[in-house]
Amino acid sequence: MAFTTSVENVLSAYLNRNTSVEYHPGLVQLVAPFVWTLKTEAGMYFCFERLMSLYEDYTATHPLSVRMSFFLSLFRQFLPDLHTYFEEEAVDMRELASAWLEGLFAKEMQIGMLMRLWDVYFSTADPLDFHPYVCLAILTTCKESLEELDQSEVRSMLLSLPLMDVDRLVVEAHNLKLAYQHSQTRGERPADY
């Protein structure tokens, strides 16, 4: 009961203070990690408010359609074999990527992994610019396992991610970002990663 009450209190305070924001179920997913890990509702609120501020500022200039196109482009460029496999298996990567891009893994990652990743995001200058590379790093890390699964198993795995070393994911994401930037400055397509 305390969990539900804290979620309701934090969301009520946030929505009362930000009258232009309408309630949607995704807000519960984004506030829940703070409620699970922090002790005071004030702490929960201010962390949630900071996340929402970052998110709203970013999405104002980067709508989901733009973020989706960019991520899918990265996916095709860096993991062409996995992309082809997903097409053959009729895996709807748009649906999965939408959940990842909108929810920042709040629903898909175990709480310890998620909070470590969000800690990195909060300490990064442009965390949401970095997020697509983290998504790609997850696919890179899970590539071999994913290629052994059928469509429903792929979907299940990507909607409930296995345990992974977040620090290694972050390093992989940085490497992917650098490879992408390098390919853009040279006007070439990145080599298969």
> Do 57 and 82 have their domain in common?
no
pLDDT at 44: 97
pLDDT at 193 over 50: no
Q: Range of 51's domain?
A: 1-61
Name the domain count of the chain.
2
> Do 5 and 74 have their domain in common?
no
Among 38, 61, 84, the domain boundary falls at 61
Amino acid at 24: H
Q: Which two tokens stand for residue 56?
A: 């709203």
> Do 131 and 107 have their domain in common?
yes
Among 16, 46, 61, the domain boundary falls at 61
pLDDT at 133: 98
Q: Report pTM.
A: 0.91
For residue 20, CA distances in Å to 17, 63, 104, 160 come to 9, 17, 22, 32
100: left (phi over 0), alpha (psi -120 to 50) or beta: alpha
The average pLDDT across 171-190 equals 85
pLDDT tens figures, 48-89? 999 999 999 999 999 999 999 999 999 999 999 999 999 999
pLDDT tens figures, 137-147? 999 999 999 99
> Do 88 and 181 have their domain in common?
yes
